[in-house]
A and B are shown apart, each in its own frame.
Chain A
Amino acid sequence: EVVLAQSPATLSLSPGERATLSCRASQSISSYLAWYQQKPGQAPRLLIYDASKRATGIPARFSGSGSGTDFTLTISSLEPEDFAVYYCQQRTNWLITFGQGTRLEIK
């Protein structure tokens, strides 16, 4: 099973600042990585697939990068609605795993 380790666990920033979230895989997963955003009381929402491609309707301030074992989700300029929990996710050998999440909170 591929383990995804996200860092930091919590990130405290102000609106307008740049956010950089990390996801590290325990083995190479090429670019087969997705990112989700989850707000309190809501289901997760798909943001990024193929490590760097935005899902339908996702604003351009969200971008993803990386391949192999190291991946990054960047939010270029934080809007108030971006404060949430973010998860990375992958599927290898028909086993799906999620990272433990990064909580992005208002400073």
Chain B
Amino acid sequence: QVQLQESGPGLVKPSETLSLICSVSGYSISSGYYWGWVRQPPGKGLEWIASTSQNAGTYYKTSLESRVTISLDTSKNQFSLRLSSVTAADTAIYYCARDRIVGATAVFDLWGQGRLVTISS
């Protein structure tokens, strides 16, 4: 079955760049669908960050777009997130997820387990 797994540093200093990788198994990310990132500050709700696709481009949450880079590495079947100039407000659990149309609705139908990233000096 398709599985997603986040990896990357759990602690990042303020003003630096947060970098995470999502490794996908059981499905080739170059075959289709969007692949996205969603975050959740501790004890709070879900916030979509961005999604990308091999053939259909990338789309971003407007307020984060200037700080976000999301990319695919099809040779490793991974996709990544980079968030620059981080502050304590970026402390969150970061989830990678498959972003696809089910029926007629864009949904996240598969999720990684999440990676807690803390922004602190």
Contacts and interface: CB of A to CB of B under 8 A. Distances in A.
Contacts of A49: 102-103, 105, 107
A85 to B, nearest CB: 8
A104 to B, nearest CB: 15
Interface of A: 1, 31-34, 36, 38, 42-46, 49-51, 53, 55, 87, 89-91, 94-101
Given A33-B105, A36-B108, A43-B95, 19 more contacts: A32-B106, A34-B105, A42-B113, A44-B46, A44-B108, A44-B111, A46-B107, A46-B109, A49-B103, A49-B107, A50-B105, A51-B105, A53-B103, A89-B46, A95-B61, A96-B99, A96-B106, A97-B48, A98-B48
Size class of the contact patch on chain B = 20 to 34
Contacts of B62: 1, 95
Mostly helix, strand, loop or mixed at chain A's interface?
A: strand
B2 interface: no
Looking at A33, A51, A94, the one whose CB has the most chain B CB atoms below 10 A away is A94
A34 B107 contact: yes
B59 A99 contact: no
B114 A43 contact: yes
